[in-house]
Structure formats: C-alpha cells, structure tokens
Chains A and B, each alone.
Chain A
Amino acid sequence: MINIKVLLLKEFLIIKNSFLKYFFILFFFPLSLYLFLSIPLSIVIYDMKPIYIVWSSIGICLVSCLYLVYILCFSFCSRNHNSNLMKSTPVLSYEYLLAKYLYAIFIGTLQLIISIIISSSLNADYLTFFNLFKLYIVMIPSILIICNISYLFSRVIVNNIFLNIINLFVFIFISFGFGSFIPLSKFPVYYSNIVQYFPVSSTIVNCQRIISNESILYNLLFVSFFYVIILSFINLLLIDKSISNN
C-alpha cells in the first residue's frame, strides 16, 4: 500500500512541476469543446428536449474527462510498469493497477468539476448536488474503462506517429461515436442498437437521463461495472506479464 502512495506522490509532483500546463488543459479543453462543437451543433440540432446546448453539456464533461484520463493514463503506464527502471523496483502489479485507478479517478474528478463549472456558468443551467453525485458515480466505470484501454494501447503502440493517429481516433470515437455530441437517434438504428451497450455510451445515456431528471438505468450501470471487472482482470495479467517481462 505504501508503494501506491509513492506512485501517486510521483504523479502529483509531476503535475505540480507543470501546474500551469495542466491548468491550461483542464480549463481550455472543455471550453474549446463548448465553443467549437456545442455552439455550432446547437444551430443544426434544434429539435431536442432539453435544448441541445444543455443536452451537450454532458458531452463536454464526459469527453474532456475521458480523453484527459486516456492521455494521462497512457503517460502513467509509460512512466511506470512499461519502464525498465521501474521493473527493477519491488512494486507489485496490483499496486500499479490501483495507483493508476486512483490517479485516473483524481484526474477525472478534477476535469469533471472544471467542466461542470464551465458548462453550468455558460449555459446558466444548474444541477442539484444529488444529481452531481449521481453523475459522478455513473461516470466512474467509464473513467476506469478508458484507463484500462489506454494501457492496452500503451502496450502495443511504440511509434509516435501511429500514437498520434490512434489518439485522434480515440477522440473521434469518444466525441462522436457514442452519442456525446450527436444523439444516437441521429445514427442508423442498427448502429445505435449495438453501441448503446458499449460502456461509454451507456454512461452518456445515464448522464443525459440525470440532467433530464429521469431515473438512471441500473442495468446499463451494472454492464459498465462488469466491463470494468473484466478489463481490470486483463490489465492485471498484462501488467504482471510486463513487470516480470515474459
């Protein structure tokens, strides 16, 4: 457990050393999504309830939060269990996994808070504290899933050019493939039928139900947690394999 604390301390020191860069990203990323996606799309997509600009605030929160978690967890993996030097330290695979999860949740929470502040102040809408709490709980499985996926990518991608292209794909998928900015109802039916059971899109569905004051779909939430368990198990095995270098 001490190692988890030390691994987290290392990440916080890294954030502290580049505080301005991180602050810039945390603040301007959701703002850019609002300015360059929500506002233009609100003119195109107008037949919605709640109105698109309010509906898409969930997309802003979710996309900024998940994409940042994806990028920073990728760096976490490169710095830790993928690094040769760290393989010589007595850190265990489950300690790496737990530290990474805590780090992802911390980053995700921070970005979520900033995104909610930005979108609430710009839209002049508000969420109750209880709804915010529900939103947070619903988003945790997606944060952990993205964190796990970023590790899977970090295992296979070594080329920087390929990495940048994959990162772009991930952004496009999170933003447009799962109904964050374009409602799934605008996609062909067969596509939306498949994609709604994907963990990220089920989170979006639940988040949108929260802001519409509807009850969340617990079956989708459980499916997401099920994905987290499966992916955690795969990740643990891969980290173990990586640090023992088979």
Chain B
Amino acid sequence: MEASITFKSVAKKINEDTLLADLSFGVEKGTRFGIVGPNGSGKSTIIKLISGILQKDKGSIYVKGYDVNIKSDKIKYEVGYMPQNAEFDTELNVLDNLFIYAQLFGISRDDALTRVKDLSKRLDFFNHLHSFPDDLSYGEKRIIMFARSIVHNPDILLFDEPTSNIDPSKRDLIWNFILNDLKEKTILFTTNNFNDAQEYSQRIAILYDGNIKYNGTFDYLVENTHGLAKFTIIFKDKVSEQLVKNISLNPKIINSNVSDNILKFYSTDKSEYFKILKFSLDSDINDIDISKCTLEDIFRGINLNMDIDD
C-alpha cells in the first residue's frame, strides 16, 4: 500500500519539554488512522506538524511523498485541517467563513458557494449559514469546522478530536459523513473517545510518553494483549480485606479497583479470575461480569506498563 503520511524519527520540543521523541509511523492511503493518548501526549502536535502549523525539531515528515519542509505550500492544498479549538473569523458569518476559506485553496467563487451550500445541507447547518460563529453552540461550531476542513475536497484529512464534547446525534452525523462520503480519503484523527477510535479507525496508534506504544488494527492489538479481559464481582456486602490483600499480592492481576462492594480488575489469565471467585464464595455475591477488552482497557494497561507485543 502507498503511504500518504510518513513520520521518520520525528522529535519536537515545546517549552524545553520533549513532547515527541524519535517518532516513526506511516498512514496508508485511503485509510482511517486514529491516534489515542493521554492529554498532553502530543496528539495535536502530530496534526499541527503535518498541516504546517508547527515545525519539527528533528527527523522527516512526508505527505504524499513530499517533504513538509520543502514543499509545504504544495502540501497545504492536499490537506484539510480541523483544529481542536473553535477558530473562526468572528466578524464573518458562517457562509463567509467557509466561502473565504475555500477560495484560499484555489476554489473559484461559484464552486466555493455551491460546495458550502451543499455541505451545509448535508451536515444540517443550512439554517445557520447567516449566523455569526459567536451565536452558535459548541456542537454546531464543531460541525461547521468539520465542513470547513473538507470544503476544498482535500485528499488528506486531519481531524483534531473531531467529536469531543458534542452530543451523540452530531457525533453520528460527522462519523456517518466520514464513513459514507470520505471513504477514499486518508484520514488521521486524534481522540480521547476510545469508543470512536475502536469503532471508526482502521488502524490505531497509542501515543504514550512521546512515542507510539502500539500501532495496528484493534483486533491485532487485542491479540497481542494475550487475552486481556476486565473482571467484575459485585458483593452483597463490603469487599473483604483479606481478598483485597490477596489481589494486591497477585502479579497476574492488573489495575485492581475496590469501591465499597464492587471489585474490578484486569488480567490476561482467566484462571486467576476463577481462583478469586472461588476465594470469594465465602461471601454473598450479587453479580459477576467478564467483559471483552476494549481500547480503553488496553490504554489503561499501557499506563500501567503492561506488556503489549508490537
């Protein structure tokens, strides 16, 4: 497969703090690539480096084969960028914001107007075209920022937390549009919403400590966690202290959490769960649950230095 975006040993410092260190990865053409990671891990920085808003300190970044340092002007025509924060010309209405932005990418006046109106109908903000950005809700602004990033029909789309803090209907609107209308595009998005990353990425990268801890499909990621699962036991009364002590001493149990009568923990070994269950039978149990590992669970595992084969 042809790579649309390639990072080679990229490093970036911000205020003397190393945010990205020796970062290397690639995004294949026509795929959706999700980056998850803790706050301040450098997700937005990766997007800003590609879109030319920030400059790397070391390494190389290629977009469609062009070095971003040498051909940044050419690359900007190929990239659509949706920032994390609402950025608008507040003195212009929504129509003019999008209309001007499209023209800056070489779209003719007539085409720009047609595209803006078409997108506004499909993304359900036609009634807001003559409103000013400050009069809109956060969710409406996100939808309009999403429309603005695709108004010039770029091949590569960079979405910085596209659906954060917006209601489910607007989130579905954005994701359905991405799945149906932007199938051919290369999409790189960052998110803190693990469900979104799990559901809509074809490849996922987990960014941790300035580097990518894991990069691959979700299924492959689950395989390489050696069957990590989340176990829950709900007792009738408070969890016994002896049980808590046993769990804390067990090296095969990860991230145990006791809250009054609820015991939660992660493990790659189901037999450990049965051992604990057997030990717990002395107490009254209300409910038990074994959940399939989610991306969020894996992310928590990584935070706790759990081994994941890459």
Contacts and interface: CB of A to CB of B under 8 A. Distances in A.
Interface residues of B, number: 26
A85 B149 CA distance: 10
A14 interface: yes
Interface string A78-109: 01000111011111100000000000000000
A10 interface: yes
B269 interface: no
> Size class of A's contact patch?
20 to 34
Interface string B34-63: 000000000000001001111100000000
A208 to B, nearest CB: 37
Interface stretch (A1-9, A129-137, A216-224): A1-9
Contacts of B87: 83-85
A17 B133 CA distance: 13
User: Which residue among A3, A14, A88 has the maximum number of chain B CB atoms within 10 Å of its CB?
Assistant: A88
Interface stretch (B69-77, B165-173, B297-305): B69-77
Interface stretch (B102-110, B178-186, B205-213): B102-110
A105 B55 CA distance: 33
B233 to A, nearest CB: 49
B89 interface: yes
Given A13-B92, A13-B96, A84-B83, A6 B104 contact: yes
A12 B309 CA distance: 57
A92 B73 CA distance: 8
B93 A90 contact: no
A246 interface: yes
Contact of B76 (A7, A13, A90): A90
A14 B89 contact: yes
A13 B72 CA distance: 29
Contacts of B91: 14, 17-18
B89 A10 contact: yes
A245 interface: yes
Given A2-B106, A3-B104, A17-B91, A87 B96 contact: no
Interface of B: 48, 51-55, 72-74, 76-77, 79, 81, 83, 87, 89, 91-93, 96, 100-101, 103-106
Given A13-B100, A14-B89, A244-B52, 13 more contacts: A2-B106, A6-B100, A7-B104, A10-B89, A14-B92, A17-B91, A85-B81, A88-B52, A88-B79, A88-B81, A245-B54, A245-B55, A246-B55
**Nearest 9 Cβ contacts at the A-B interface:** A90-B76, A85-B87, A88-B81, A14-B91, A88-B51, A6-B103, A89-B104, A87-B53, A10-B100
14 contacts: A6-B103, A6-B104, A7-B104, A13-B92, A17-B91, A83-B87, A85-B87, A87-B52, A88-B79, A88-B81, A89-B76, A89-B104, A90-B76, A92-B73
